[in-house]
A = this chain, B = another copy of it.
Amino acid sequence: MSDDAPGRQIGVGLLGYAFMGKAHVNGYRTLAYMAWPPPLVPRLVSIAGRNEGAVAAAAARYGFERSVTDWRELVADPEVELFDNSGPNNLHAEPTIAAAEAGKHVLCEKPLGRTAEESYDIWQRVEATGVKHMTAFNYRFVPAVRLAREMIEAGDLGEIRHFRGRYLQEWGSTTAEVWRFEREAAGSGALGDLGAHVIDLARYLVGEIGSVSASTRTFSPGREVDDAFEAVAEFENGAVGTLEASRFAPGRKNAFSWEINGSKGSLGFDLERLNELQWSEGTQGFQTILVSEADHPFWEWWWPHGHTIGWEHTFVHELHHLLAAIAADTAVGPHGATFEDGYAAAEVCDAILRSAESGRRERILRQ
Residues of A within 8 A of B (CB): 3-4, 6, 19, 23, 25-26, 29-30, 33-34, 36-37, 53, 56-57, 60-63, 161-162, 164, 166, 168-170, 173, 211, 213-217, 219, 228, 230-234, 238, 240-242, 244, 246, 248-255, 259, 261-266, 271-275, 280, 282-290, 292, 302-313, 355, 359-361
List, sorted by A's number, 23 A–B pairs whose CB atoms are closer than 8 Å: A19-B303, A23-B303, A26-B33, A37-B61, A161-B248, A162-B230, A170-B283, A173-B263, A213-B355, A213-B361, A215-B232, A216-B240, A228-B240, A231-B232, A249-B266, A250-B265, A251-B286, A254-B304, A271-B306, A273-B273, A274-B308, A287-B287, A359-B361
Told that A250-B262, A251-B285, A359-B360 touch, could you supply 15 new A-B pairs with CB distance under 8 A?
Answer: A4-B56, A4-B60, A23-B303, A30-B30, A161-B228, A162-B230, A213-B355, A213-B361, A230-B232, A230-B242, A250-B263, A251-B282, A253-B305, A285-B288, A285-B289
Please give, as numbers and ranges, the residues of chain B lying within 8 Å of A161 by CB-CB distance.
217, 219, 228, 246, 248-249
Q: Is A230 within 8 A of B241, CB to CB?
A: yes
Q: Is A272 within 8 A of B361, CB to CB?
A: no
* Cα A361 to Cα B308 with chains together (Å): 37
* Cα A100 to Cα B360 with chains together (Å): 42
Q: Is A266 within 8 A of B254, CB to CB?
A: no
Mostly, the A contact residues are mixed
Also in contact, A232 and B246, with CB within 8 A (given A290-B272, A361-B359): no
Q: Which residue of the partner chain, among B164, B214, B250, contacts A261 with CB atoms under 8 Å?
A: B250
* Cα A242 to Cα B286 with chains together (Å): 23
Q: Which residue of the partner chain, among B33, B56, B244, contacts A29 with CB atoms under 8 Å?
A: B33
Q: Is B215 within 8 A of A214, CB to CB?
A: no
Give A32's nearest chain B residue, CB to CB. Answer: B63
Q: Is B250 within 8 A of A280, CB to CB?
A: yes
Most buried by B among A25, A214, A228, A261: A261
Please give, as numbers and ranges, the residues of chain B lying within 8 Å of A242 by CB-CB distance.
230, 232, 242, 244
Please give, as numbers and ranges, the residues of chain B lying within 8 Å of A306 by CB-CB distance.
169, 252-255, 271-272
Q: Is A36 within 8 A of B61, CB to CB?
A: yes
Also in contact, A213 and B240, with CB within 8 A (given A161-B248, A250-B280): no
Please give, as numbers and ranges, the residues of chain B lying within 8 Å of A238 by CB-CB distance.
217
Also in contact, A286 and B287, with CB within 8 A (given A303-B23, A308-B274): yes
Please give, as numbers and ranges, the residues of chain B lying within 8 Å of A213 by CB-CB distance.
213-215, 232, 355, 359, 361
Q: Which residue of the partner chain, among B252, B271, B304, B359, contacts A19 with CB atoms under 8 Å?
A: B304
Q: Is A214 within 8 A of B228, CB to CB?
A: no
CB distance from A30 to the nearest CB of B (A): 7
Please give, as numbers and ranges, the residues of chain B lying within 8 Å of A359 by CB-CB distance.
211, 213, 360-361
Q: Please give me the 9 A-B residue pairs with the lowest Cβ-Cβ distance, nearest first.
A: A254-B306, A251-B280, A253-B306, A287-B287, A310-B310, A213-B213, A309-B310, A359-B361, A4-B57
Most buried by B among A161, A241, A265: A161
CB distance from A49 to the nearest CB of B (A): 14
